[in-house]
Structure 1
């Protein structure tokens, strides 16, 4: 009995000694360094002078355009211009057969001569009867008849002169001339073709391209906003009150010469709710051709105290309202709703909610929690990617590619090595 008790006591003492030795062998682990507040990149809000622009689609049209049509009928004897060339106002383009009009002019001249010949005796008869009626040598009725014959002869002369002038004009119309200076297009008729006066089909079209119009459309709501901003003084125009316009060509290259906005239409298109604006551009090198699609960059005005915030710093809250994170005076991150008017490049134009001097967080938003302390440092823009760098996200299965559903920035685990075949 005593031996069994002594055995148990020995076992307890042995275990206690082992545990004591194990406890003595453990060293106290040093505590890790205390983590400070997260570092965030911020920009300080300030006001600046910003020229506000609107980019609108448009089409070019010629400054002047004239369709050439014959004013008399006849056969085209000759086309006397080169298609696609520049012509001057008054330059002959077509020659219509003038034979019949020359004959009509000669006939009119002959009728004029006959009328003038008949006028001479009528005038002499009226003069004689005027003297005789004074002495009662002839009846008063005879003088009245002579006076009426004179007036009729004078009217015949005037009518003949008008007929001569008409024949002369028609003869001149056989030489179809350019009504304006410009570039003439293709001819729709050839030599020997029959043309008629005022026919619906034009013989050719002349367009003046030294300047061109650009017609663009803008929604009526945007026009109202712009007018309100100008009336309130938020936007300012130049001294002349004319808005400058720049062009982007079809391939995206800028047109080197600026234009001016001439007028806006006075009627809103009921089907689209937009109005037409017309700008004029100098075209000295005739780079702009009628019908080209362009994008007009319209200078609406200048905001002298604009607040711009990069789009990367603006998020939407649950209600869909634009929100930014700012660093408060106590050094904590604070969400702040803002009002935005429009985009300006890669920035939002802020119309309310921010004041000069506010610090907006742009980098480290995922580390900033509302009400928690943060360490604000000036935001440094990331340099552009080097030329030749791979574009787009890493492909699935590529080294460093994140697995679907992984946290942002987490790299995929390296693939297990495939066993080699024996």
Structure 2
């Protein structure tokens, strides 16, 4: 019995010794996990020329927009253009009934002929009276009266000529011509209507489309920049786009123009200034009243240090980046001098430096990193249509 107890004690002691030996000889990584490298993606700092732009919302305006109205009352006899037709300055657009004005013109011409005939007779008599007055053949009073009659008839002739010119002006108003080159709008009257000068609506409008302008507003802080662009020997380029997409893209390009003027005052209510740009519009992509997005090139940064926007991180007081140095990540403060949706221009690094572009959330100064390779391009196969 005593032997069995001793045997059990020996077996238990052997088990305890085996467990202790395993605990002392097990691998170190099983007792304490070693630190692992943080996977990141990186980009290199590039150096390139970067144009700077300022953008805003503008409205397309015609340089000349004329509402065609009659300059006298009368019946519209003919419309010589169609809606949407392109016309040139001086083209005949419509005609009014001119019979009454032509009759007045003929009457004025007849009165002119009568006055000229009377003046001719008076001049003959004046010449005769002048010769007779030398020998006292006629009195001085008779001669003076004849001279006054000649002056009166000359004034009458001038009045008749002025009446003819006035009638010709009125006659010209019966032919309505286009004052500008442009496009005819929707008409509001038809042939046979009686038109009045007081009609505010007019016949239709003629709008110039080429060249055309875009008016836009910018913050008042942009005034010195715009003044410098206006004073430059080369006009500043302005691009007009159909609109901005939700992802920041400018949209479809409608035209390329140049900055033409700045308004003479700043709005005190909004703190903005108005400016205007002029565009060649032969393709007629810009249309009056259209809202567009404009981009103006304000400067060109030569040999700028450029990185993607995801590289730059925001700290409590400043911006910083993570620069890869061997297998470690260093924190480097930087200054962002310009940024847009595609690039950031920074100072504080050198061209060719390797910076972390993805995976910064787990990093800190001196952290060990593992640079991941660029992901392969994903090729999407088109769905095949199975024919029965």
Q: Distance in 2 between matches of 1:238 and 1:34?
A: 66
Once the two structures are superposed, what CA deviation does each residue of 1:240-265 show, in whole Å capped at 9, x if it has no partner?
42122222225975236422222222
Q: Please list the CA deviations of residues 66-112 of structure 1 after superposition, one character each: whole Å capped at 9, or x if unmatched.
A: 21111111122232322222223333322212121111111111111
Instruction: Provide the residue aligned with 1:283 in structure 2.
Output: 281
Which residue matches 1:93?
Answer: 93
3-state SS in 1 of match to 2:304: strand
Give the secondary structure class of the aligned counterpart of 1:217: strand
Q: Which moved more, 1:308-317 or 1:107-116?
A: 308-317
- Counterpart CA distance in 1 for 2:338 and 2:60 is 28
Name the structure 2 match of 1:333.
330
In 2, are the aligned partners of 1:333 and 1:374 still within 8 Å (CA)?
no
Matches within 5 A, 1:6-17: 15-17=12-14
Give CA-to-partner distance per residue, 1:139-197, whole Å, 9 cap, x none: 44443333222222111111101101111221221122222232211221122222123
Q: Residue 124 of structure 1: CA displacement?
A: 2.0
Residue in 2 aligned with 1:294?
A: 292
Alpha-carbon contact 1:72-1:198 (below 8 Å) kept: no
Distance 1:26 1:210, change over 3 A: closer
Paired residues of 2:78 and 2:95 also in contact (CA < 8 A): yes
1:52 alignment partner in structure 2 = 52
CA RMSD in angstroms comes to 3.6
- Partner residue of 1:363 out of 351, 355, 358: 358
Give distance in 2, aligned partners of 1:15 and 1:382.
58
Q: Secondary structure at the match of 2:305?
A: strand
1:258 matched residue in structure 2: 256
Where structure 2 has 5 or more consecutive residues not aligned to the other structure, the ranges are 246-250, 383-388
Count of residue pairs brought into register by the alignment: 374
Change in 2 beyond 3 A, CA 1:388/1:349: farther
CA separation in 1, counterparts of 2:373 and 2:71? 73
**Superposition pairs for residues 93-112 of structure 1, below 5 Å?**
93-112=93-112
The answer (yes or no) to whether the contact 1:243–1:301 under 8 Å persists in 2 is no
CA offset at residue 201 of structure 1? 2.4
Please give the secondary structure, in 1, of the residue aligned with 2:253: coil
**Mind listing any 5+ residue stretches in structure 1 that lack a counterpart?**
232-236, 390-422
Distance in structure 1 (CA, Å) of the matches to 2:231 and 2:75: 57
Q: Is contact 2:263–2:273 with CA below 8 Å preserved after alignment?
A: yes
Distance in structure 2 (CA, Å) of the matches to 1:280 and 1:121: 65
Q: CA deviation at 1:22?
A: 4.2
CA contact (8 A) 1:339 1:353 kept: yes
CA distance 1:245–1:21, change in 2 (3 Å)? closer
The normalised TM-score by structure 1 is 0.75
